[in-house]
Amino acid sequence: MPDVKKVVLAYSGGLDTSVILKWLEETYGCEVVTFTADLGQGEELEPARRKAEALGIREIYVDDLREEFARDFVFPMFRANAVYEGEYLLGTSIARPLIAKRQVEIARETGADAVAHGATGKGNDQVRFELGYYGLEPGIRVIAPWREWDLNSRERLLEYAERHGIDIEGKREEGGAPYSMDANLLHISYEGGVLEDTWTEAEERMWLWTNAPEAAPDAPQYVDIEFAGGDPVAVDGERLSPAALLSRLNELGGRHGIGRVDIVENRYVGMKSRGCYETPGGTILLRAHRAMESITLDRDAAHLKDELMPRYAELIYQGYWFAPEREALQALIDQTQRDVEGTVRLKLYKGNVTVVGRRSPKSLFDASVATFEDDAGAYDQQDAAGFIRLNALRLRLGAKRRG
């Protein structure tokens, strides 16, 4: 094995990363630094610290990244209205570059010469993590145990843990979680288990954040979201930090059964994969942001954004957050957001988000022009005749040629 002196491991404290921690020490004979990120997953993270301490780790990082995650990653993505393949709001995808960024920073702080992650060789996360590492620190050594070891089943992982005295919750006799799950402030995802049969409906008990629409309140709830510079800044008149605002929308959306999707997506590595996602706050935010843009963005600027959005979403999904093309698209998107300012009113009811009002001091909507009543000369309808003739010219010429 190439010489590795110190490695920073993205560590959750669960079975996989606890085994990886010991495997790194055993295989590479190196010192391990653990890094656990609080991205709003709703879990107590101190147990991860205690497990790392119990395994003899001296340098342990448990970092609260919730505000940075919402402010510098989620909100810029939502300025683009990014959706992958029509439905996925990129909750896992957008978290990976931040984790990679902080890992690289910790490697620099601690003098580590390598980083490691617990992503498997079948998924997208290995690509996202490693493109992030290399985009920030081109000479970093990356260790991906799932591509190196032979511990390719839960049974083998548990046997390894038992041999090395690793205390793991959810032993063989207790059974494991029925799904592979990932959670952060933006979403929670579910994969594997019964979901690998694309005809089988997900069990109701799987969903952790949202009420079933049938069980949601029978009365609708109205919510006002205020925007400035394309970002949400207040809910119902209360100014909130980015993380607090997203948490508030998650609570509202979850109560009303908003944000569930069940999709089969195309992974970057080539296979199709079924995933179920809960993104209650993000679903509300996307609807609100598009409504705010509808009255503040110029028509062709808005259409250009919509044309570029699938490419932007694909870049995030595939792990190219730090790539120059994503940064170039972000600059264009951010330029369009200067006047995206005002308030959107939405109605939340039984899994639905309905826009019922929007207003802005920068609005391009002019009722005196758009009215069906007397516009007092604000718009000369005779102008439309020449406009139509000019735009029809090529169609008429084409029709003549066809005879």
Whether 268 has a binding-site annotation, put simply, is no
Whether 294 has a binding-site annotation, put simply, is no
Residue pointed to by tokens 């598009």: 290
Distance CA 59, CA 42 (A): 24
Distance CA 241, CA 247 (A): 10
Whether 93 has a binding-site annotation, put simply, is yes
Distance CA 241, CA 71 (A): 8
Whether 10 has a binding-site annotation, put simply, is yes
Whether 312 has a binding-site annotation, put simply, is no
For residue 167, give both structure tokens: 């205390």
Whether 37 has a binding-site annotation, put simply, is yes
Element (H, E) at 22: helix 15-28
Q: What is the DSSP string of 320-374?
A: -TTSHHHHHHHHHHHHHTTT--EEEEEEEETTEEEEEEEE-TT----HHHH-SS-
The radius of gyration of the chain's CA atoms, rounded to the nearest angstrom, is 25
Whether 88 has a binding-site annotation, put simply, is yes
Edge-first strand order for the sheet with 60-64 is 60-64, 31-38, 6-10, 114-116, 141-143
Whether 11 has a binding-site annotation, put simply, is yes
Q: Kindly give, in sequence order, each residue whose CB lies less than 8 Å from that of residue 345, ignoring residues fewer than 6 positions away.
A: 222, 223, 224, 355, 356, 357, 358
In Å, how far from its chain's centre is CA 129? 14
For 81, 240, 243, 260, the CA distances from 246, given in Å and listed in that order, are 15, 9, 5, 16
Whether 180 has a binding-site annotation, put simply, is yes
Whether 14 has a binding-site annotation, put simply, is yes
Whether 198 has a binding-site annotation, put simply, is no
DSSP label at residue 145? G
Whether 124 has a binding-site annotation, put simply, is yes
Determine the Cα angle at 91 with ends 312 and 322, to 5°.
45
Distance CA 290, CA 293 (A): 5
Length of the chain: 403
Q: What is the DSSP string of 262-296?
A: EEEEE-TTS-EEEEEEE-HHHHHHHHHHHHHHHHH
| Residues forming the active site | 16, 96, 125, 180
In Å, how far from its chain's centre is CA 312? 13
Residue pointed to by tokens 């448990």: 62
Whether 128 has a binding-site annotation, put simply, is yes
Binding site for ATP: what residues are annotated?
A: 10-18, 37, 118
Binding site: what residues are annotated?
A: 10-18, 37, 88, 93, 118, 120, 124-125, 128, 180, 189, 265, 277
Binding site for L-aspartate: what residues are annotated?
A: 120, 124-125
